[in-house]
Structure 1
Amino acid sequence: MADPTMMASLATDMTIVDMLMSPAVWLSFATLALLEVVLGIDNIIFLSIITDKLPKHQQPLARKIGLGLALLMRIVLLSMVAWIATLTTPVFSVGDHTVSWRDLIMLGGGLFLLWKGTGEIHHSMEGHDEGTSGKKSAVFGWVIVQIAILDLVFSLDSVITAVGMAEHLPVMIAAVVFAIAVMLFAAEPVSKFVHDHPTIKMLALSFILLVGVVLIADGLHLHIPKGYLYFAIAFSLGVETLNLLSAKRRARKNAEAAH
């Protein structure tokens, strides 16, 4: 995490015009925006899984609300960087292990993801019936609550990353807004792709479990580089993409042979 003294001194004497004319600021924005988009993969996958149980006409609205909450939380947290610095202050100790509010948030978020991911995998494996559309409509509020809980955890991680990579608050906010805009554009096709391919959905659920483990490890002060996590899921998706292409080619050949 970034140095709290640096976080507390984010006020800058650079004007907006100075920042727009600075190559270093543009490089910082581009780097941070790209990283925020990568980190936003968590949000998109979670949104696609959690909103899949809603009626079709409610799913786009739920995803938009979820991403809107993510943007709002990120901007609010960025405007409270001095307070965020205090989240790393130990509040109690367990033996030699100190626990801060940030640790508790990461632990809670990780456990929530493990619970949610395990439940969804069990649901998929058992093939439980989704129920009536009226029953689905009743859980819209609960879906939004779950999205808000994970938005808080992901937003905190996103803001900590932003503060560690940029020195100017407008640059951080611009990068976050750009990343959310990309996520909003990608949410629908990603959700449809995950819904239409059960094996991809299972990989997505596995990814949610991995993120949960990483969050718990982070809360326990065991740092796991996220590059490992994203490489693992990218490799798995690459292999599954080859399987899907191979299956589609076989189906096409069988269709041609049948004619």
Structure 2
Amino acid sequence: MDYLLALAQDPAAWVALVTLVAMEVILGIDNLIFISILTNKLPAEHRTMARRIGIGLALIMRLALLGTIAIIVRLTAPVFTVFDHPFSWRDMILIAGGLFLVWKATKEIHHSVDPNPGDDLFETRATIGFTAAIVQILLLDLVFSIDSIITAVGMTEHIPIMIIAVIAAVTAMLLAADPLAHFIEQNPTVVMLALGFLIMIGMTLIAEGFGAHVPKGYVYAAMAFSAFVEGLNMMARRRGRRAPHG
């Protein structure tokens, strides 16, 4: 209790908390886009439940990972070397997660643009199962969780601050999940933009796994600019539909 009281009176702790919450929320955008696209392929009556279960289990998993933070930190230690470049478990997790994102987004784009999909390396089903959706949400959240926790360790050593930041970020995801999913479903062009975001995020994860540092600010600035342009396109289309009746 004395530790928590001292922490609450430390201005540096409050700064770290605000910074961590902001970082967790921003990192959660990537995950939320994936969750929205994935759950929109489920039957309508299962979508909200899938989002809530997926995000709720993600919260439990992140808190559990914080309980093993000493192990998580050691994931940055080199495991093997290829052409004089060391790879850690974190690197391999990022590469695997990035490849999964690129594959998943490419598959969804293929289904969207191919009017006559045939038997190829992409599955032909337009929907997925409830359990499969939850598993994919958790697998991707594992990748983002490990990366964000390792980043958080570099910002603060206080576990309570990390826990509060994770809970705040996941709460924001729960509140935004349904509105974002509905918006994406009602605007098909936004789906393609979001899939493009997932490919970019996947390539960023792969690059970081191979040791190339990609500033997150550049990635999110590109996403924000693309979203702004798409917003202008949506406004132009709405004006175009109203013009004949004006």
**Fold equivalence (TM over 0.5):** yes
After the TM superposition, which of the residue ranges 247-256 and 95-104 deviates more from structure 2? 247-256
After the TM superposition, which residues 33-52 of structure 1 pair with which residues of structure 2 at under 5 Å, given as runs?
33-52=21-40
**Residues 27, 18 of structure 1: alpha-carbon distance in 2 compared, 3 angstrom cutoff:** same
**Residues 138, 117 of structure 1: alpha-carbon distance in 2 compared, 3 angstrom cutoff:** closer
Residue 14 of structure 1: how far off its partner (Å): 6.0
Alpha-carbon displacement from aligned partner over 1:10-45 (angstroms, at most 9, x marks no partner): xxx962122223322222111110111011001110
1:206 matched residue in structure 2: 196
Contact persistence 1:69–1:151 (CA under 8 A): no
Between the aligned partners of 1:52 and 1:102, the Cα distance in structure 2 is 30
Structure 1 runs of 4+ aligned residues shifted over 4 Å read: 135-138
1:126 matched residue in structure 2: 114
Between the aligned partners of 2:163 and 2:138, the Cα distance in structure 1 is 20
Alpha-carbon displacement from aligned partner over 1:23-80 (angstroms, at most 9, x marks no partner): 2222211111011101100111000111111001111111112211221121111121
Q: Does residue 189 of the first structure (1) align with residue 179 of the second (2)? A: yes
Q: 2:164 aligns with which of 163, 170, 174?
A: 174
Query: How many aligned positions are there?
Result: 239
After the TM superposition, which residues 85-100 of structure 1 pair with which residues of structure 2 at under 5 Å, given as runs?
85-100=73-88
Contact persistence 2:41–2:128 (CA under 8 A): no
1:112 matched residue in structure 2: 100
Structure 2 gaps of 5+ residues are 118-124
Q: 2:66 aligns with which of 53, 75, 78?
A: 78
Q: 1:149 aligns with which of 139, 145, 153?
A: 139
2:232 matched residue in structure 1: 242
Q: Percent identity?
A: 51
Between the aligned partners of 2:38 and 2:135, the Cα distance in structure 1 is 11
For the residue of structure 1 that corresponds to 2:79, the secondary structure is strand
Contact persistence 2:41–2:127 (CA under 8 A): no
For the residue of structure 2 that corresponds to 1:200, the secondary structure is helix
Residue 139 of structure 1: how far off its partner (Å): 1.2
For the residue of structure 2 that corresponds to 1:165, the secondary structure is coil
**Residues 149, 126 of structure 1: alpha-carbon distance in 2 compared, 3 angstrom cutoff:** same
Contact persistence 1:107–1:219 (CA under 8 A): yes
1:160 matched residue in structure 2: 150
Q: Does residue 225 of the first structure (1) align with residue 215 of the second (2)? A: yes
Contact persistence 2:73–2:150 (CA under 8 A): no
**Residues 212, 27 of structure 1: alpha-carbon distance in 2 compared, 3 angstrom cutoff:** same
Name the aligned partner's letter for residue 47 of structure 1: I
Relative to the length of structure 1, the TM-score reads: 0.87
Contact persistence 2:50–2:134 (CA under 8 A): yes
Residue 137 of structure 1: how far off its partner (Å): 7.8
After the TM superposition, which of the residue ranges 201-210 and 243-252 deviates more from structure 2? 243-252
What RMSD over aligned residues (CA atoms) do the two structures have, in Å?
1.8
